[in-house]
């Protein structure tokens, strides 16, 4: 599996490129997931065999579902890391700080 490195947070160009690449990966994952699910359903519905062939199909289908799961786990982790590395540029006026961890003396 290819590692996706995080961009430098102070480089606007790198952040835009990273967000674009992440969006592309999400689109590809959606298409990949749809094709894999279609193939799994077609294989299950059309297979009229038992024995060794049925076991082989079950192994291949489970591997396909594991590939889909791994793809989405990778995308979600990369998205979380990308959101975590983005600088906080939102408005802070009118927002009360979280004081639940403060101790009064």
On whether residue 5 sits in a domain, the answer given is no
Q: How many domains does the chain have?
A: 1
Structural domain range at position 26: 12-85
H helix runs in the chain, sequence order:
12-46, 52-85
On whether residue 105 sits in a domain, the answer given is no
On whether residue 78 sits in a domain, the answer given is yes
Q: What is the pTM of this model?
A: 0.62
On whether residue 7 sits in a domain, the answer given is no
Per-residue tokens: 19: 């967000």
On whether residue 29 sits in a domain, the answer given is yes
On whether residue 2 sits in a domain, the answer given is no
Give CA–CA dist 22/39, Å, rounded: 25
- The pLDDT > 70 percentage for the chain reads 70
**pLDDT band for position 96 (cuts 50, 70, 90):** low
Residue 38: predicted pLDDT? 93
On whether residue 100 sits in a domain, the answer given is no
Residue 33: predicted pLDDT? 93
On whether residue 16 sits in a domain, the answer given is yes
Closest to 46 measured CA to CA, from 33, 31, 61, 32: 61
């Amino acid at each position: 599996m290819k590692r996706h490195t995080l961009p430098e947070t102070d480089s606007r160009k790198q952040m835009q490129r990273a967000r674009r690449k992440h969006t592309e990966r999400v689109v590809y994952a959606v298409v990949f997931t749809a094709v894999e699910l279609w193939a799994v359903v077609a294989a299950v519905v059309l297979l009229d065999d038992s024995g060794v062939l049925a076991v082989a199909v079950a192994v291949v289908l489970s591997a396909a579902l594991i590939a889909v799961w791994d793809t989405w786990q990778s995308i979600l982790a990369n998205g979380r890391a990308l959101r975590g590395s983005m600088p906080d540029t939102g408005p802070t006026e009118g927002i009360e700080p979280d004081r639940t961890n403060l101790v009064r003396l």
